[in-house]
Amino acid sequence: MTSPALPSRLPAVGTTVFTTMSALASQHGAVNLGQGFPDFGCDPRLLDYVNDAMRAGHNQYPPMTGVPALREAVAAKIGKLYGHSYDAASEITVTAGATQALTTAILCCVHPGEEAIVIEPAYDSYTPAIALAGGVMVPVSMEMGENGYSVPWQQVAAAVTARTRLIVINSPHNPTGSILRRADLDQLAAIVDGTDILVLSDEVYEHMVYDGERHASVSSHPQLVDRAFVVSSFGKTYHVTGWKVGYVAAPAPLSAEFRKVHQYNVFTVNTPMQHGIARYMEDPAPYLDLPAFYQRKRDLFRAGLAGTRLRLLPADGTYFQCVGYEEISDMPEAQFAAWLTTELKVAAIPVSAFYSGGKESRIVRFCFAKGDETLALALERLNKL
């Protein structure tokens, strides 16, 4: 018997570059600086709190919107850091990771035929989610200057049409390590003023901003906050990416529509982990200390690359460092990343993979969210360049 034909909902989607490069790194015994996850453990207190929650019997379904204590902790954190008061009951929803939050936000607001503007290079889940919603992705490429990547807001404004429903932004930005500042948000606010355009703000690296800069959250912008879904990730913040727990903050009318989709694609999220994270958030030090923790790793990694022929791009946020390799090779990015992995045994990600059209710039991305020993080994190998 043959299986029935199944036309694909995502015909252009194959195996992700992250899966491909991680498999190649494993095959060749390479240091994996490709996929964005730490190779060190989280605070043992967090594990203890989750274990305590399980032993206390928190093992059945929690409320669909999330454990109240965790939603209250999130609302309190946002209020203290960004000055906006979200109602924990009606405006904070706990999600099965940030990717689920992003996808659910897109599914709840983008209708078939409507357009969503995406700033490229972009995290790879945005475009498939827009396609699943029946929407049309409209890409706008970031510009490269002496200070690294920046958003060309005039081009964003020019991309707006009567069919534009959503603008997706990401800061701190994966993969470039750039950040948006208040002036950027002011320009975005001017673009959407007087329209029904919504904003989806991916802020999963919100606590990884360096050199004394403050994260410019959409939650802090009075002209944007009332039309925005703001997404963040406990996995990124607390070094537990495999737990897949995140949240979305949005005004009550947007949250109500978000929750209609959320309840039918995941319904709810791991109960003991929610209780453990809520208890852990009583101490703000772990996220307040995160910029210094990762800036030390960034500076260590950049200093170690200074003697190579790689061109270091600015890394103002996230735990990613982009480098240009134009003085080393004219290979396409995917080929160069594969060469690095197989010959120097250090895995990287081609930035071209973050463009819908595969734009080539001879730039690859490294992840420095690794132990010092891991970074030292990678730098030893990269200094052969």
pLDDT tens, position by position, 165-193: 999 999 999 999 999 999 999 999 999 99
Report the pLDDT averaged over residues 255-269. Answer: 97
Q: How many CB atoms lie within 10 A of CB 39?
A: 15
Query: Is pLDDT above 80 for 1?
Result: no
- Which tens digit of pLDDT belongs to each residue from 21-69? 989 999 999 999 998 899 999 999 999 999 999 999 999 999 999 999 9
Q: 313 exposed, middle or buried (CB, 10 Å; 0-12, 13-18, 19+)?
A: buried
- Which tens digit of pLDDT belongs to each residue from 343-364? 999 999 999 999 999 899 999 9
Q: Which domains does the chain have, with CATH numbers?
A: 17-42+288-382 (3.90.1150.10), 45-284 (3.40.640.10)
Helix (H) or strand (E) holding 21: helix 17-28
Q: What is the C-alpha separation between 179 and 170, in angstroms, rounded?
A: 8
Rounded to 10 degrees, what is the CA torsion of 66, 67, 69, 70?
-50
Q: How many CB atoms lie within 10 A of CB 146?
A: 5
